């Protein structure tokens, strides 16, 4: 029986690689080793506005609980192209929504397993879409270790990859967990964070993280954190950019659906910020249809755009920001006012000049 399970496990891995996944491992479901640390992280308020993370804690505590007789997890990783140039949009968000891309692949893998097993195998795929600790499962499946920036790091791929898991009621031989910590004494990721979001190695205060501030935060970006946002409009790759494992092992993007859309691959933060600040609802829906960036909503992206113009803009941006003072969202109006004040303080324009909309 053990030999049969191993043979099927090998077939599952071959099929997963054939579907385009870059890494695959198998873990036996059970109590999550990192649940205690996760619960403490929530208690310390580091999740900020992400109240959904506190839901379904029983399932996060024990990965057998999503459905009856859940036994094994096939854990996969999909590279999203760490070799791309850095820019105002984080690499993962430049193409189609990765949730859709990976769930489709996991559904195909699920169908293959049922066919191979000769019965309908109960299963459920997760890609940031439910209350399980995928990173915990990935380490247990042998895919990597937790880097000091909290990302899973693989010794042959770095950390620029998505994690997904297919839970099934089918017993498979599990891989050995990844036990070693290969970060050593390196602290480049911690030192490089512009907002000092790392409380300690492997402990992230999300409320200070630029990815959180530009995506998950629904209200104002704290004034003291706006300047450190710099030119970043959606997400942040800085703690990954500086990682030696990514310098050496990041790979080019091969998944077609994740190829960057032309407008989102731009490194011209100011041009993109100007476009986002003036975008109406129809333009927003058309531009971000099928994109993960729709999560921030039009108001969030316009807010972020105003901050970027405040950090990088000059007199040519003041007329646009003056117009934004009449934006339909109060949140955007407040950040546009801040941006104007920033430009004014740098260039020493008079209030009358700004009100005329210098161009």
Whole-angstrom distance, CA of residue 192 vs CA of residue 239: 6
CB atoms within 10 A of CB 237: 22
Predicted TM-score of the model (pTM): 0.93
Predicted local distance difference test score (pLDDT) of residue 346 = 84
Let me know if 128 is a catalytic residue: yes
E strand residue ranges, the chain: 23-28, 72-79, 123-126, 145-146, 152-153, 161-168, 198-200, 203-204
Residue 1 pLDDT grade (very low, low, confident, very high; cuts 50, 70, 90): very low
Judge whether residue 2 has pLDDT over 50. Answer: no
What's the burial of 192, exposed, middle or buried (CB within 10 Å: 0-12/13-18/19+)? Answer: middle
Q: How far apart are the first and last CA of the chain?
A: 76
Summarize the confidence of residues 275-292 as an average pLDDT: 97
Whole-angstrom distance, CA of residue 56 vs CA of residue 59: 5
Cα angle 268, 270, 275; round to 5:
100
Predicted local distance difference test score (pLDDT) of residue 6 = 52
Predicted local distance difference test score (pLDDT) of residue 8 = 79
Report the 3 state secondary structure along 45-69.
CCCCCCHHHHCCHHHHHECCCCCCC
The tokens for 331 are 């949140």
Judge whether residue 286 has pLDDT over 60. Answer: yes
Summarize the confidence of residues 154-179 as an average pLDDT: 97
Q: Active-site residue among 10, 43, 111, 128?
A: 128
Predicted local distance difference test score (pLDDT) of residue 355 = 54
User: What is the distance of C-alpha 25 from the center of its chain?
Assistant: 21
- Alpha helices per DSSP H over 203-350: 210-211, 223-229, 238-241, 244-249, 269-277, 281-287, 297-312, 318-324, 330-347
Query: What are 294-352's pLDDT values in tens digits?
Result: 999 999 999 999 999 999 999 999 999 999 999 999 999 999 999 999 999 987 544 55
Predicted local distance difference test score (pLDDT) of residue 7 = 59
Query: What are 15-45's pLDDT values in tens digits?
Result: 999 999 999 999 999 999 999 999 999 999 9
Q: Which residues pair with 24 in a beta bridge?
A: 76
Phi, psi of 159 (to 5 degrees): -130, 0
Query: What are 212-223's pLDDT values in tens digits?
Result: 999 999 999 999
């Amino acid at each position: 029986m053990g030999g049969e399970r191993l043979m099927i496990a090998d077939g599952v891995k071959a099929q997963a690689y054939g579907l385009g996944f870059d890494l695959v491992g198998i873990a036996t479901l059970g109590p999550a080793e990192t649940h205690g640390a996760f619960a403490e992280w929530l208690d310390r308020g580091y999740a900020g506005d992400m109240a959904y993370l506190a839901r379904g804690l029983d399932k996060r505590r024990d990965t057998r609980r999503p459905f009856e007789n859940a036994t094994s997890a096939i854990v996969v990783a999909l590279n999203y192209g760490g070799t791309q140039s850095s820019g105002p949009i984080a690499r993962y968000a430049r193409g189609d929504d990765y949730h859709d891309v990976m769930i489709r692949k996991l559904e195909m893998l699920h169908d293959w397993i049922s066919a191979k097993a000769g019965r309908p195998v109960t299963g459920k795929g997760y890609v940031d879409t439910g209350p399980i600790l995928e990173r915990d499962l990935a380490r247990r499946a042998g895919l990597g270790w937790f880097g000091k920036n909290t990302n899973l790091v693989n010794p042959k791929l770095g950390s620029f990859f998505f994690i997904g898991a297919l839970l099934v009621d089918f017993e498979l031989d599990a891989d050995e967990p990844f036990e070693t910590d290969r970060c050593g004494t390196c602290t480049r990721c911690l030192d490089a964070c512009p907002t000092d979001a790392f409380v300690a190695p492997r402990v992230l205060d999300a409320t200070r993280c630029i990815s959180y501030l530009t995506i998950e935060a629904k209200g104002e970006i704290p004034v003291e954190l706006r300047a450190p946002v710099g030119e970043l409009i959606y997400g942040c790759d800085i703690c990954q950019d500086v990682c030696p494992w990514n310098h050496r092992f990041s790979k080019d993007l091969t998944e077609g659906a994740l190829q960057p859309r032309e407008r989102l691959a731009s490194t011209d933060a100011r041009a993109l910020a100007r476009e986002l600040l003036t975008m109406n609802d129809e333009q927003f829906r058309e531009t971000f249809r099928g994109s993960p960036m729709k999560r921030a909503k039009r108001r969030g992206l316009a807010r972020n755009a105003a901050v970027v113009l405040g950090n990088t803009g000059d007199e040519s941006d003041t007329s646009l920001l003056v117009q934004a003072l009449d934006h339909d969202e109060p949140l955007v109006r407040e950040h546009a006012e801040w941006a104007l004040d920033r430009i004014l303080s740098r260039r020493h324009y008079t209030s009358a000049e700004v009100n005329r909309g210098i161009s």
